[in-house]
Chains A and B, each alone.
Chain A
Amino acid sequence: MKSEFFISTLKKQISSSSSISTRSIVQMSGVSASYDSKDLVLKDVTLNIHRGINYAIVGASGSGKSTLLKLMNGMMTPSDGVVLYNYQKPSLKNKEFKKSISKIGYIPQTLGLVKNMSVMDNIMIGALPRISGVKSFFKMFPEDEIKNANDILKLVGLNGKSKRKVYMLSGGEKRRVAIARALMQKPDILLADEIVSELDNVTAREVMDVIHDAQKKLNLTAVMIHHDMNLALEYANRVAVIKAGEKILEIGVEGEQIVDFQTGNLSQEEILEMYDES
């Protein structure tokens, strides 16, 4: 059952993968990372994320998935290997990279919303890097940014709730706010860490559909971490599996073929075997 679902969902992606360009936006080569310079949470990971792609990273808790995202937006730096975002090394100390950080839509697992603020103010946070210090301090937002925010509210299905305080929202609605904040950044890429893993099946798919729609409309590259392999296969063009800090599998569709990018061309049976093991 699992296998049939796996093949059919991947094949569905073939039709939607036409807009993927071959230019990469994130490149990682031989990357290792650790929090305390002792135990490595990532070991020798190499991956390449093309523009326009919907990339999923799947793995168990503590496998190093979140670290992988934090390396892409400079919240962490690798202890070994090279990470490039748009051909720049992501780091908060890198001045060149800091110019592009406002266009990396980042949704951490905790969402990072300001609970005591309204939905609108939370969304506006995404636009703040474009608004001058004095205007942003007094919440004097430019007309076009307000229009932007209202459009995005509609897109994520939160219209009519802009004045509501975030702590009053449901789990699904909070995720929509986080997505809206990221979209408000006018992002080149969207990084989302287990955004639906705490939601029930129906709500999870609703939230994923919101992202999927936005992605199509804005031709957005997305890197999403998932706990659930089924969700990853359903929405992504390419899926990487991380286990104990190592990339053990990377599969995707190319032409009519399911390809294993990790070890070369494997047969579908071999891929499925690895999937079942993970």
Chain B
Amino acid sequence: MNPKNNLLIGAIVAVVVVMSYDVGVEPIAFFEGLPNLGIVAKEMTEFESAHWETAFWSMLETIEMAFIGTIAGVVISLPLSIFAARNLSSKFVYAPLRALLAATRTFPSILWAILFVIVVGLGPFAGILAITLYTIGFISKLQYESIEAIDFDPVEATTAIGLSKLQLIRYVIIPESAPHLLSQILYMFDYNVRQTSILGIVGAGGIGFYIINYIKFFEYGKAAMFMLVVLVAVLAIDWISVKIRDKYIMKAEHGRQLKPMN
């Protein structure tokens, strides 16, 4: 370790301590309050499975919302990402578009959900709009970055054949960035299911509505059952996406490795 690194680590520790004091971090309160967690945990084990049917249908609604939002967001993202890629568009198009996309990512989807509840009223539709908007911001960014990183060789070869820009996008850009896209969609859907699970807190539909209300009324046993449903659903989705990844993405990546070194 050289002195410069020591100084840097010391400085970071000092900054964390000062900031903790500033925002009121109280480690003692944490340890004093730990028994409360025990009470909640005990009540949670008093599992009430009477509403499992409600939990199932509200989880299904959550997944449907996340799915619609993800797909709608991806469909809108595809053309946007092409306009936002520096190797395909002019500066006057991609610069403002990137700023706009960055703005949609600035706020978490729950804030967008509040906004859309004001616009379209309470219910799942507001949640779908929030998820769609957030997905657009995220997928567009991931996608224009992978477009910018695609193998340049086929682009050069097809330019020399005289393809139009639209044909270049359809036959080179989209297929070459497709394995990334599928992986990104799976990741986004996974993320959106978890996000949608809490959108109910602001009345934008989904299972979060039940969880937040049971917690508010100290019915931890019922809340625990709904949370367990979320956990099972998220695990199931994770398992399915691993299967899809293995079947379609690993194969393409493997093919990539087979490319002869030049």
Residues of A within 8 A of B (CB): 73-75, 92, 98, 101-102, 104, 106-117, 121, 125-126, 128-129, 133, 136-137, 165-168, 171, 181, 185, 198
Contacts and interface: CB of A to CB of B under 8 A. Distances in A.
A98 B160 CA distance: 9
B259 A112 contact: no
Nearest to B163: A128
A104 B160 contact: yes
B162 to A, nearest CB: 4
6 contacts: A102-B162, A106-B160, A108-B156, A116-B255, A125-B163, A167-B258
Contacts, number: 94
Interface in B131-168: 151, 153-164, 166-167
Contacts of B153: 108, 110-112
Nearest to B166: A133
A43 to B, nearest CB: 24
B94 to A, nearest CB: 22
Given A125-B171, A128-B163, 8 more contacts: A111-B157, A115-B176, A116-B252, A116-B255, A133-B164, A136-B166, A167-B258, A185-B161
A116 B178 contact: yes
Contact of A115 (B163, B166, B167, B259): B259
B123 interface: no
Contact of B256 (A115, A117, A121, A185): A115
B158 A101 contact: no
B262 A112 contact: no
A112 B157 contact: yes
Nearest to A92: B159
Given A108-B153, A167-B255, A117 B160 contact: no
Contact of B162 (A98, A113, A117, A136): A98
Contacts of A104: 160
B175 A114 contact: yes
Contact of B154 (A102, A113, A137): A113
Q: In this complex, which of B151, B156, B171 has the most chain A Cβ atoms within 10 angstroms of its Cβ?
A: B171
Contact of A110 (B158, B159, B258, B262): B262
Q: In this complex, which of A101, A107, A109 has the most chain B Cβ atoms within 10 angstroms of its Cβ?
A: A101
A237 to B, nearest CB: 24
Number of chain B interface residues as a range: 20 to 34
Contact of B167 (A75, A113, A133): A133
B255 A168 contact: yes
Contacts of B91: none
Interface string B43-82: 0000000000000000000000000000000000000000
Contacts of A113: 154, 157
Given A102-B161, A110-B262, A136 B167 contact: yes
Contacts of B178: 116
Nearest to B259: A115
Contacts of A129: 161-164
Interface of B: 151, 153-164, 166-167, 170-172, 175-176, 178-179, 252, 254-256, 258-260, 262
Contacts of B161: 101-102, 106, 125-126, 128-129, 181, 185
Contacts of B159: 75, 92
Contacts of B156: 75, 108, 112
The 10 tightest CB contacts between A and B, nearest first, are A167-B255, A112-B157, A110-B153, A102-B162, A101-B162, A106-B160, A112-B153, A112-B154, A129-B162, A116-B175
B262 A116 contact: no
Contacts of B164: 128-129, 133
A113 B259 CA distance: 11
Given A128-B171, A198-B260, A116 B158 contact: no
B157 A108 contact: yes
Contacts of A74: 160
Contacts of A111: 153, 157
Nearest to B261: A198
A166 B254 CA distance: 12
Q: In this complex, which of B160, B167, B171 has the most chain A Cβ atoms within 10 angstroms of its Cβ?
A: B160
A51 to B, nearest CB: 20
A136 B170 contact: yes
Contacts of B171: 114, 117, 121, 125, 128, 136
A167 B256 contact: yes
B178 to A, nearest CB: 6
Nearest to A130: B162
A148 B179 CA distance: 30
A218 B155 CA distance: 27
B160 A75 contact: yes
B170 to A, nearest CB: 5
Contacts of B252: 115-116, 167
A111 B155 CA distance: 11
A103 to B, nearest CB: 9
Contacts of B176: 114-116
